[in-house]
Amino acid sequence: MEQQHERDDHESSKDLLEGVLEKALAAVTLELRRIAPIHEGLRDYALLDLHEDTKVEVTNAIALYDARVVLLEAAKAALLALLGLVDAIPMDDLQATVARVRYRPIKLPPVTQAVFDDLRDNQQTISAAFGEFDVAAEARTVSIEWGTPEPPAPNAQGE
């Protein structure tokens, strides 16, 4: 009877751990999705004609996001590996440790007014240019009308 109770406790702990790991994996995936457009936007800024100080700040910000993505991808890989090994993991207080994992947002350091103005000016010019574009109408159907076939015209030698 006691062995059955221990097996039930182990199964319940295993299920709990799987749930915790799946929640952690979902949190990592959500964080990767949340920061993707910010990361892409910073890379887009880096391609613009920025003042030198602004380029430095944007490059530093990209480095912070690059590092965060590397860590999140490593965490994701580790969580997937753990999920595959749940049966072999000692239960101890691993669940509590995984449950405490939180991702603090990246807080970029303040920039000078000149850098901020340069970023804003570039944003405004991009927005102005974007406003000039319209979406082209897409063809929804195509119809072909077949005419009456005509024989080819004779060539210069009368053939």
Phi first, then psi, for residue 103 (nearest 5°) are -110, 110
The reported pTM is: 0.64
In a domain, 137, yes or no: no
148 falls within a domain:
no
Segment holding 26, helix H or strand E: helix 2-46
* 157 assigned to some structural domain: no
Taking only the tens place, the pLDDT of each residue in 98-116 is 556 666 778 899 999 999 9
Please indicate, yes or no, if residue 139 is contained in any of the structural domains: no
Question: Can you tell me the distance from the alpha carbon of 40 to that of 131, in angstroms, rounded to the nearest whole number?
Answer: 21
Please check whether residue 103 lies inside any domain of the structure: yes
Structural domain that includes position 25:
2-127
Place 84 in a pLDDT band, splitting at 50, 70 and 90. Answer: confident
- CB-CB neighbours of 23 under 10 Å: 14
> Does a structural domain hold residue 145?
no
Question: Would 9 be classed as within a structural domain?
Answer: yes
Count of domains in the chain?
1
Which residue, 157, 55, 54, 35, is CA-closest to 105? Answer: 35
